[in-house]
Structure 1
């Protein structure tokens, strides 16, 4: 379920709030039974930088068990006060680092949710290796009469393996990649949602321990380039898929390839623009 590249006459979503909206990052690095996901902090900072540049308020929660992830997402679906936010040990991007938040979050005209973790097919992992389905993540923000996000674009970025298979590499490359692996399921078909997953179903997703994951780093770079040109989000993610699918890497198991998957029920053109502060 993907868009064509160009929507010359499509009505855009109105993005008039300041900040534009919230960008929530769940960054699971230190797992109870696995080695740390090296490189994930680089991904989190890259996401914070680019979405801050695009006018969003950035809030990050780290190293969450499955149930805590669920509670965190429910909180952000309909935010409460600052003391509740502090219960989730959230940090806020200040422009150069993550600091303690000073005020409660409020929704604007768009919402971004980034989950950086291990995963299995249709699921992401808490640090306790228990799983939360991508479907459940998106359904937490489903459109209801009292939801502050009804009618507004919601973008989910999932950096996690979706299985244990490795696409064969065309050629070897000098990169020591790691993988984010940890029931077939697909995301709920909810309106005004775009879900971008690092890899197609059944396959692994690569992460460079020094430079971050292929997928998230490509997303951030393509957002920087595309948003300056006024491209809509669907065009940008087509470029991400193209770029990542052409990369060649190597893991301990051998040559490595990766193809992201984009699923969209956006009803309008989502064009994000740099905000000069």
Structure 2
């Protein structure tokens, strides 16, 4: 990552009036307001890009996502033999859920299987540079793979970082065509080797039951939703897909057009956290374990996935998509815990 250039701060000025300081001959000179960190380098006016034109007004409380919307699924099932990773059986079900759910919502879904790290970099570079990206109203990227800690996931031939190789490439300064537009990142992968046994609780009984152009932060308008908490396993069924993607697609399908995306994702977290528990009696390290998704957001507005006039999108997905919430689960970790005899509770 390129280092930022910083203005030098003069510690000898601490405690003085932040507006002025004395120069030669007693003259006053303006200095910068006191800040909690040294301000970074600001590019000259001649270097700045022209404002990006978007559909959403500055003062709008929700994103306007009329127009093309794109889903890219990096589906990693097989890996180079040197990693000694099992195939991610059941990932086809996750892909089917995603495809069905977002197609019904009017998104264009592109599935990319077993991409190498170079191929993933090429896809992201094309998103950055293609004029077709400018036409998009929103983009969602799904990463289905094995993973480790620090946001590291596996491509077919090597490892890559969700933050460095995906998110940082799509910020407003690196990808101006997506500036001001929702960028949704969903990660179905373990974040490490730890498991969560959960804790039992009970309820306490009580007696009372608009400018023409404006600046935004480069990291604005991101939503990152990952299957498990830092350093923890996520579980996946060899037949019906992962707990996380099952819950995500199910809750989106059942949601109302008045539900915001964040409302829906709260239900996803609750579903995975409270309704799922692993059952592997012969593997104590994986038996009766829990999982909770982790959400990061720099979204500036509400996002509604459903058009109020689009009634057919209501209801569950059907047809060739497997039934939800049944059959064994595996783990999306590099570790040895990928089980086929772990029943969803």
TM-score (norm 2): 0.61
Instruction: Give the Å deviation of 1:170.
Output: 6.7
- From the CA coordinates, give the structure whose radius of gyration is larger: 2
Q: Is 1:151–2:180 an aligned residue pair?
A: yes
Which range moved further: 118-127 or 156-165?
118-127
**Which of residues 222, 225, 243 is equivalent to 1:196?**
225
- Structure 2 match to 1:256: 289
The whole-number CA distance in structure 2 between the counterparts of 1:70 and 1:145 is 14
Deviations 1:51-80 (A, max 9, x none): 111111111111012232222222233337
Q: CA offset at residue 129 of structure 1?
A: 4.1
The 2-side partners of 1:197 and 1:145 are apart by: 23
**Paired residue for 2:92, among 16, 19, 41?**
41
Q: Which of the pair has the greater relative contact order for Cα pairs under 8 Å at 6+ separation?
A: 1
Secondary structure of the residue aligned to 1:16 is coil
Higher strand share: 1
User: Matches of 1:125 and 1:38 in 2, distance apart?
Assistant: 15
Q: Is the 8 A contact 2:63 2:181 kept in 1?
A: yes
Contact 1:12 1:269 in 2 (8 A): yes
User: Following the alignment from structure 1 to structure 2, what is the Cα–Cα distance between the partners of residues 211 and 114?
Assistant: 17
| Number of residue-to-residue matches in the alignment | 227
- Written as runs of structure 1 = structure 2, the 5 A alignment for 1:1-277 is 11-17=61-67, 19=68, 21-32=69-80, 33-79=84-130, 107-121=135-149, 122-144=151-173, 147-168=176-197, 190-226=219-255, 228-246=256-274, 247-251=276-280, 252=283, 253-273=286-306, 275=310
Distance 2:218 2:192 in 1: 22
Unaligned runs of 5+ in 1: 1-8, 81-103, 172-187
Task: Tell me the distance in 2 between the aligned counterparts of 1:78 and 1:197.
Answer: 27
Q: Secondary structure at the match of 2:264?
A: helix
2:245 and 2:143 map into 1 onto residues whose CA distance is 10
